[in-house]
Amino acid sequence: MDNSKRLFMKRAGQSSAMLMLFAYGGGKLFAANNPISSNTKWDGLLLKDPKALFDLPKDFSYKVLMSTGDVMTDGLKYGGRPDGMGAFELKDGSVALVVNHETKNRDKHLELSTAYNDSNGRPFSGGTSTIVLESDGLTLKRANRSLSGTIDNCAGGTTPWNTWISCEETYRENHGYAFEVDPEADSLKGYKRLTHMGRFQREAITVDLNDPNGSVYQTEDDYSGLFYKFVPNKKNNLSGRGKLYALKIPGVENTSNKDGLISVGDNFPVEWVRIKDPLAKSTKTKIQGKKIGASIFNGGEGIIFTNDKNMTSNIFFTCKKGGKAGLGQIWKYSPVNSEISLFYESDNASNLWEGDNINITPWGDLIICEDNGSNACKLIGCTPNGTLYPLGRVAGNSSSEIAGICFSPDGKNMYLNIQDRGKTIAVTGDWNKIREYRDELDSNLVHYNS
How much is the average pLDDT of 178-198? 93
- The helix (run of H) or strand (run of E) holding residue 118 is strand 118-119
pLDDT score of 181 more than 60: yes
Contact 47, 56 (CB under 8 A): yes
Phi first, then psi: give them for residue 27, nearest 5 degrees.
-90, -5
Record: fold of 3-19+63-372+392-429: Neuraminidase (2.120.10)
pLDDT score of 2 more than 50: no
User: Is the dihedral angle over the CA atoms 102, 105, 109, 110 positive or is it negative?
Assistant: positive
- Position 335 scores a pLDDT of 98
Neighbours of 325 (CB within 10 A): 16
More confidently predicted of 297 and 36: 297
Can you count the helices (H) and strands (E) in the chain?
3, 30
Q: How many residues does the chain have?
A: 450
pLDDT score of 283 more than 80: yes
- Position 302 scores a pLDDT of 98
- The helix (run of H) or strand (run of E) holding residue 291 is helix 285-291
23: three-class secondary structure by DSSP: coil
pLDDT score of 24 more than 70: no
| Cα angle for residues 350, 353, 356 (degrees, 5° grid) | 145
Q: How far apart are CA 376 and CA 95, in angstroms?
A: 30
pLDDT score of 29 more than 80: no
Read off the pLDDT band of 387 (50, 70, 90). Answer: confident
pLDDT tens sequence across 317-326: 999 999 999 9
Which range, of 68-72, 403-407, 441-445, averages the lowest pLDDT?
441-445
How much is the average pLDDT of 278-303? 98
- Position 354 scores a pLDDT of 97
- Position 20 scores a pLDDT of 32
Q: How far apart are CA 177 and CA 173, in angstroms?
A: 10
DSSP 218-257: EEE-STTB-EEEEEESSTT-TTS-EEEEEEEBTTBSBTT-
Read off the pLDDT band of 310 (50, 70, 90). Answer: confident
- Position 26 scores a pLDDT of 35
**How far from the centroid of its chain's Cα atoms is residue 95's Cα?**
19
Neighbours of 251 (CB within 10 A): 9
Read off the pLDDT band of 177 (50, 70, 90). Answer: very high
How much is the average pLDDT of 296-302? 98
pLDDT score of 254 more than 90: yes
pLDDT score of 12 more than 70: no
Which has the closest alpha carbon to 171: 123, 220, 128?
Answer: 220
Phi first, then psi: give them for residue 293, nearest 5 degrees.
95, 5
How much is the average pLDDT of 135-158? 98
pLDDT tens sequence across 216-241: 999 999 999 999 999 999 999 999 99
Q: Is the pTM of this model over 0.95?
A: no
Q: Average pLDDT over the chain, rounded to whole? A: 90
pLDDT score of 193 more than 70: yes
Q: CA dist 179 to 116, 126, 367, Å?
A: 10, 12, 25
- Position 4 scores a pLDDT of 33
Q: How far apart are CA 199 and CA 176, in angstroms?
A: 5
pLDDT tens sequence across 104-132: 999 999 999 999 999 999 999 999 999 99
Alpha helices for 40-162 (secondary structure H): none
- Position 308 scores a pLDDT of 82
DSSP 70-84: -B-TTSPBPPSSEEE
pLDDT score of 10 more than 90: no
- Position 442 scores a pLDDT of 76
- Position 445 scores a pLDDT of 55
Phi first, then psi: give them for residue 322, nearest 5 degrees.
-75, 165
Listed in sequence order, the residues at least 6 apart from 393 whose beta carbon sits closer than 8 Å to its beta carbon are 46, 54, 55, 376, 377, 378, 379
